[in-house]
Amino acid sequence: FSGDKLESRAYWANQLIDLPFLGMDTNACAGFTVCPATPNTKQTYRMNLPISKKFPT
């Protein structure tokens, strides 16, 4: 696929609802991968996602 806007989100999934992690930058083009994405080109998406001890388990 190709695209100049890439987004990513992480969620905590429970039995009632999926809750997004607060404070996560969802703009993948903001330093996490190269944009625009082009077909047939290998890209790597890297992001550190700190998991707080306050998050539910």
Q: Write out pLDDT tens, residues 30-47.
A: 888 889 999 999 988 888
pLDDT at 31: 83
Q: Which is higher by pLDDT, 34 or 1?
A: 34
Q: Is the peptide bond before 56 cis (omega within 30 degrees of 0)?
A: no
Tokens of 16: 């009632």
Query: Per residue, what are the HEC states of the chain?
Result: CCECCCECCCEEECCCCEEECCCCCCECCCCCCCCCECCCCCCCCCCCCCCCCCCCC
Domain boundaries, the chain: 1-40
Q: Residue 18: is its pLDDT beyond 80?
A: yes
Mean pLDDT calculated for residue range 14-19: 88
Please tell me the distance from the alpha carbon of residue 47 to that of residue 3, in angstroms, as a whole number: 19
Q: Which residue has the tokens 């806007």?
A: 5
Q: pTM (2 decimals)? A: 0.63
Q: What is the pLDDT of residues 46-56, one digit of tens each?
A: 888 888 787 76
